[in-house]
């Protein structure tokens, strides 16, 4: 386990659901004392996004298992233009872009459950380019030691 009391999470890998403006699944795996990789598969507008993030995690005060994190990464996805109010042409789109993330998470001491809230803005670079700042989410994960 990569955990160091008071510095990194109390789990190595956590798997669960992510709900917000888009919904899907999330997997977070620590690769160091404060660094993690997170993968997100989400659906929206009858399409999907695959997102990969590198995150750094830091304790909040002296509260055990309570952390804030920040990170960056990228995404690729396919969106159905017929069901997206932002697309004027109504064609399907394959999007590629970069993402940021900032949030907080807490892991229960008594049960292997992890709860997180975050904001994940993105910038599409290919197809329907532009800034998307509406990704707020709640994640609930099962934490593996």
Residue 129: which CATH number?
A: 2.40.160.20
Cα gap 22→19, rounded to integer Å: 6
- What is the domain extent for residue 31? 13-144
Is residue 71, in this structure, part of any structural domain at all? yes
Is residue 3, in this structure, part of any structural domain at all? no
What percent of the chain has a predicted confidence (pLDDT) above 90? 61
Give the per-residue pLDDT at 79: 78
**Count of structural domains within the chain:** 1
Give the per-residue pLDDT at 9: 66
Q: How crowded is residue 69: how many other Cβ atoms within 10 Å of its Cβ? A: 22
Residues 6+ apart with CB under 8 A from 31: 2, 37
Position 3 pLDDT exceeds 60: no
Per-residue pLDDT tens digits for 47-98: 899 999 999 999 999 888 999 999 999 999 987 766 566 556 556 778 899 9
Cα gap 19→58, rounded to integer Å: 23
Cα gap 41→66, rounded to integer Å: 25
Of 104, 103, 105, 114, the residue nearest 144 (C-alpha): 114
Q: Residues 28, 35: contact at Cβ < 8 Å?
A: no
Position 2 pLDDT exceeds 60: no
Is residue 1, in this structure, part of any structural domain at all? no
What percent of the chain has a predicted confidence (pLDDT) above 70? 84
Is residue 4, in this structure, part of any structural domain at all? no
Is residue 8, in this structure, part of any structural domain at all? no
pTM score, whole prediction: 0.86
């Amino acid at each position: 386990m990569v955990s160091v009391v008071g510095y990194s999470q109390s789990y190595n890998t956590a798997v669960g659901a992510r709900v917000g403006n888009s919904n899907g699944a999330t997997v977070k795996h620590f690769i160091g004392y404060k660094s993690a990789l997170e993968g997100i598969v989400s659906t929206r507008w009858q399409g999907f996004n695959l997102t990969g993030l590198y995150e750094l995690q830091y304790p909040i005060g002296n509260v055990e298992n309570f952390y804030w994190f920040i990170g960056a990464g990228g995404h690729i996805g396919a969106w159905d233009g017929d069901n997206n109010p932002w697309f004027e042409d109504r064609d399907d789109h394959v999007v590629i872009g970069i993402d940021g993330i900032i949030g907080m998470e807490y892991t229960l001491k008594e049960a292997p459950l992890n709860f997180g809230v975050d904001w994940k803005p993105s910038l599409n670079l290919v197809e329907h380019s532009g800034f998307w700042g509406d990704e707020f989410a709640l994640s609930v994960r099962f934490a593996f030691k």
